[in-house]
Chain A
């Protein structure tokens, strides 16, 4: 039996080896990944980002080369440190410190020695780079802004964050991504597709050739240029007019829904968020919680619109046939709509639709609204009918435009009031503030502009959008789809006449521009702040909406100036100037222009800012406090609103 010992040992040992190898190769699957991490490096080839043009083909955003100086510590040889430091304008201490840091990271791998030099900084260094062994230059592409305005429209480029990397497998740590504005909306168009190269590494992490002869490699696809609907001149002019004021301007071409200008104030030069200064400047902007330069007021400032909303109240009254053009209501400096309830008005005498609009008579529209709601037996049903009419103008929800931020606004319906008054008992008089754009109604400037575009079109609109052309692709079909309102075309004619007369006899009669027929409406948005626990009403926001020319409208516009007071004082003049600028390309009313440019609300903001600093700002709140707000606004209506 002694013969069997060696063969037995051989067989048992071989089985042992096979089992272990089977475990390593087949059962345990972590080694494949470890091996890939070990030996394969993925290298990306980043294509140049697409350019951005305005509607007239003016180049707005291009790219600039930026140069990172890289160092491989191990390869440093006999460097004239003094000359090197002089060329790059750094101190010797910096040099020693950075090299030491790079060595700690890895003596063999490249580290960034000096990031993001611009062309001129780099030029001097470039000539002598051969003298400095161990250093080399890596080119990167940064945005180059050809204009100093439109920061809110463009957005910017930033390093992608961990959350997005986890969500979107395209991005890797350190990749750049469009953030805010069209850079974010059209990220996939602008960025192109990066090329991927798989590289075989050796144990020193050096590259020793392509993996599988580039079988899995892909070639980078260039980013596409995009053309915006923005009119650069108008945008620039809007931002100039808004200097020293806070607020937003939105201008839309009614026939297409193209956004001509999207101004927010205060703003900043987009160029300050590029290159080495980016993080410092961004921090400054981000933490400015008072002026909020990063807050796009044209898209986000949600307020009760006030008088411009009367346009819709009137149109719905006509559509529901509770009034016609001739229906007249008597105004006695106000209107007693219920026992002990009185809505003030500056008007006096009989009001029909036409002078109701141009005088902005609260009494007239409160009556129209009461008739609309009382038309049906159940106020809940009536409110829903009314609400659907309003929503057909694209209000009360995100509009679907191609910019990444927005607010819904609010258009109440029966559900809203069921929530506020769970026990019922509400009637037309309870919600009468809606008639004059107070109460639960909230709108943003872009919604106001879209409402005016719809009126200008006599009953339809296109979803507002910023994209005009994508090179080599068509724009989203939703921007060419016509949205028709529930109001018949014939009812718009008298309304437009009324809006035209606002400039002839009404609240904007001093704002006429010779030769241009403008239709417009002033407005005032109340706003409150909680100061020391007490609700304090601040100076009203000035609102103005308009479109022009009256026949064949080319521009619809909405303007909000925070704490600007009565609509015709600041927002109105800005509207006139913007319209003239767009239609004529020059300004005839230089007196008005000079006046507007010189208006500064800085002192007013400083006082408000001081007040607000004491406690958080409270603009008109939404759902949770609706009930409280409604009551307050009732009182407010009694005392002030009319224009």
Chain B
């Protein structure tokens, strides 16, 4: 009886899109794995099959469970990240795996779901007002605790994902200037790398002056504007210093390639160049399944993981790329729509986190592959090879689908 109602109440749109993405992902992994000696497609098939019992377990657990134990789950997740420093296995310079025999598991993939639960739990208290500085400090602590543990692994890609929580928090009442600060910081950073610092400062002065005199007389505050300008100038000047002295060479290279300042197709620019060639040679409808010459030749490094979208671009062309992007965007908007109709704040915030996390992965990954974002290791949800990633995203999504299905039962 209960099972039936769950079946009826589950959002099948999300499940169909999810299944489509997983299957398409596997087909592309199959194609790209033909050039390598490893049987990655077989392993991925096992990972995919294992998601089925996983989904049943998640759906079988009572909907209240997640809200009740959110803090404990978060705590365990933080411990698992902390444990990496002692028991972690280092692969390719990154200490972010636990190894059990030949099987590896990446706790940071699960930490996103845990952090989302914790954030939802914290905000579900109707007394919480994010306009209060105290509350702001508390939510930021929840977001930054896992980031602090992930960054030194080092895994900047996973850490970057957490920035999306600001957009979730803004939805729940975080002041707008957080978003503005973030936006202006990124803008100033990129501009400083592109132009000389003095020009950026000049632009900042111009913008601040215009904003100052355009705003209402009562809002004008010459002290605030001056401080703003001083802070921005200081930031611009420090960016140069940080870029040259704090960043490592390979970080600088990634930015320089993105900005077109460096062209080194054989060396540091190899990945991006080969991945652009693979995608660019796909044309309107692609070269056909298993016919991608770049894919067959194994020209794109890490093609089955972070660069899996190149296979889509090469073998399925613009049409295939468009379908994949449309499916993703459909899923995100559907999840946001579901989130907005949740009756509890807990599940609404959690749903927002799910949409935000999936979207950030999607955007950063594809933007990197097509050469408009610096090279950074972020998987494409449901597509990229890897058990931890697939399960992490599956758990993230299906916890929300369970909550969504539960809302009717709650009455």
Task: List residues of chain A with CB under 8 Å of any chain B CB.
Answer: 2-3, 5-7, 9-11, 13-14, 16-18, 20-22, 24-26, 28, 30-32, 34-36, 38-40, 200-203, 208, 211-212
Question: Are A18 and B35 in touch, CB under 8 angstroms?
Answer: no
Decide yes or no whether B246 CB sits under 8 A from chain A.
Answer: no
Bound complex: CA A6 to CA B299 (Å): 36
Is B340 touching A25 in the complex (CB atoms < 8 A)? no
Assess whether A3 is in contact with B340, with CB atoms less than 8 Å apart. yes
Report chain B residues within 8 Å CB of A16.
367, 372
A-B contact pairs, 9 of them (CB 8 A): A7-B336, A14-B363, A25-B318, A25-B321, A31-B276, A34-B280, A38-B293, A40-B293, A203-B298
Rounded to whole Å, the gap between the CB of B197 and the closest CB of chain A is 27
DSSP majority for the A interface?
helix
Determine whether the beta carbon of B333 is less than 8 Å from that of A203: no
Chain B residue contacts of A203, Cβ below 8 A: 274, 297-299
Is the Cβ of B291 less than 8 Å from the Cβ of A212? yes
Interface of B is mostly: helix
Q: In this complex, which of A5, A14, A35 has the most chain B Cβ atoms within 10 angstroms of its Cβ?
A: A35
Closest Cβ neighbor of B317 among chain A residues: A25
With CB as the reference atom, state the residue of chain B lying closest to A211.
B293
B28 nearest CB across to chain A (Å): 15
Which A residues touch B278, using CB under 8 A? 35
Given contacts A16-B372, A25-B317, A202-B35, contact A31 B280 (CB under 8 A): yes
Contacts of A9 in B (CB 8 A): 167, 359
Would B298 and A32 count as touching, CB distance under 8 A?
no
Question: Which of B43-51, B281-289, B390-398 lies at the binding interface?
Answer: B281-289
Q: Which residue of B lies closest to A39 (CB)?
A: B293
- In Å, the complex CA distance between A34 and B371 comes to 17
Ordered nearest first, which 4 A-B pairs have the shortest CB separation? A31-B280, A35-B281, A39-B293, A24-B280
Instruction: Assess whether A22 is in contact with B318, with CB atoms less than 8 Å apart.
Output: yes
- Using CB atoms, name the residue of chain A closest to B359: A10
A28 to B284, CA, bound (A): 12
The chain B residue with its CB closest to the CB of A40 is: B293
B residues lining the A interface (CB < 8 Å): 35, 167-168, 170-171, 173, 179, 274, 276-284, 291, 293-294, 296-299, 313-314, 317-318, 321-322, 325, 328-329, 332-333, 336, 340, 352, 355-356, 359, 363, 366-367, 370-372
Q: Are A3 and B171 in contact (CB under 8 A)?
A: yes
The docked-state distance in angstroms from the alpha carbon of A16 to that of B366 is: 11
Contacts of B274 in A (CB 8 A): 38, 203
Residues of A within 8 A of B280 (CB): 24-25, 28, 30-32, 34-35
Kindly report which residue of chain B lies nearest to residue A28, judged by CB atoms. B280
Q: Is the CB of B283 within 8 A of A32?
A: yes
B288 nearest CB across to chain A (Å): 9
Contact for A14 among B168, B179, B318, B325, CB less than 8 A: B325
A35 pairs with B293, CB closer than 8 A? yes
Q: What residues of B have a CB within 8 angstroms of the CB of A35 in the complex?
A: 277-278, 280-281, 293-294, 314
Tell me the complex Cα distance, A38–B340, Å.
Answer: 49
Chain A nearest CB from B116 CB (Å) reads: 14
Q: Is the CB of A31 within 8 A of B293?
A: no
Do B279 and A25 touch (CB < 8 A)? yes
Residues of A within 8 A of B296 (CB): 39, 200, 202, 208
Q: Is the CB of A208 within 8 A of B35?
A: yes
Residues of A with C-beta under 8 A to B281: 31-32, 34-36
> What residues of chain B lie closer than 8 Å to A212, measured between beta carbons?
291
Nearest B-chain residue to A22, judged by Cβ: B318
- A13: chain B residues within 8 A (beta carbon): 359, 363, 367
| Contact of A6 with B293 at beta-carbon distance under 8 Å, contacts A18-B325, A26-B283 already known | no
Q: Which residues of A contact B279 (CB under 8 A)?
A: 21, 24-25, 31
Give the docked Cα–Cα distance between A272 and B170 (Å).
87
**What residues of chain B lie closer than 8 Å to A25, measured between beta carbons?**
279-280, 282-284, 313, 317-318, 321
Q: Which residue of the partner chain A has the closest CB to B318?
A: A25
A6 with B352: CB separation less than 8 A: yes
CB-contact partner of B322 in A6, A18, A32, under 8 A: A18
Cα(A40)–Cα(B277), bound, Å: 14
Contacts of A7 in B (CB 8 A): 332-333, 336
- How near does chain A come to B279, taking the closest CB pair, in angstroms? 5
Closest residue of chain B to A6, judged by CB?
A: B167
Give the complex CA separation of A451 and B41 in angstroms. 81
What is the CA–CA distance of A25 and B170 in the complex, to the nearest angstrom? 37
State A9–B168 Cα separation when bound (angstroms): 12
Q: Which of B170, B278, B281, B340 counts the most chain A CB atoms within 10 A?
A: B281
Supplied contacts A5-B167, A39-B294, 17 more A-B pairs, CB within 8 Å: A3-B340, A5-B171, A6-B168, A6-B336, A6-B352, A9-B167, A14-B363, A17-B370, A18-B325, A21-B279, A24-B370, A25-B279, A25-B321, A31-B276, A31-B280, A31-B281, A38-B293
| Least CB distance, B351 to chain A, in whole angstroms | 11
Closest residue on chain A to residue B328 by CB atoms: A14
Bound complex: CA A200 to CA B296 (Å):
8
List the B residue with the shortest CB-CB distance to A9.
B167
> What is the distance, in angstroms, from B166's C-beta to the closest C-beta of chain A?
10
Q: In the docked arrangement, what's the CA distance between A2 and B178, Å?
A: 13
> Chain B residue with minimal CB distance to A11?
B329
In contact, A24 and B276 (Cβ under 8 angstroms): yes
Task: Give Cα A7–Cα B355 distance, bound, in whole angstroms.
Answer: 9
Least CB separation from A212: chain B residue: B291
Residues of chain B with a CB closer than 8 A to A36's CB: 281, 293
Q: Which of B35, B173, B291, B372 contacts A20 (CB 8 A)?
A: B372
> Which residues of A are found within 8 Å of B363, using beta-carbon distances?
13-14, 17
Please, which residue of chain A has its CB at the minimum distance from the CB of B299? A203
Question: CA–CA, A212 to B288, complex, Å?
Answer: 11
How far, in whole Å, are A7 and B171 apart by their CA atoms in the complex?
11
Candidate in B296, B297, B352 with the most chain A CB atoms within 10 angstroms: B297
Nearest-neighbour CB distance to chain A for B347, whole angstroms, equals: 16
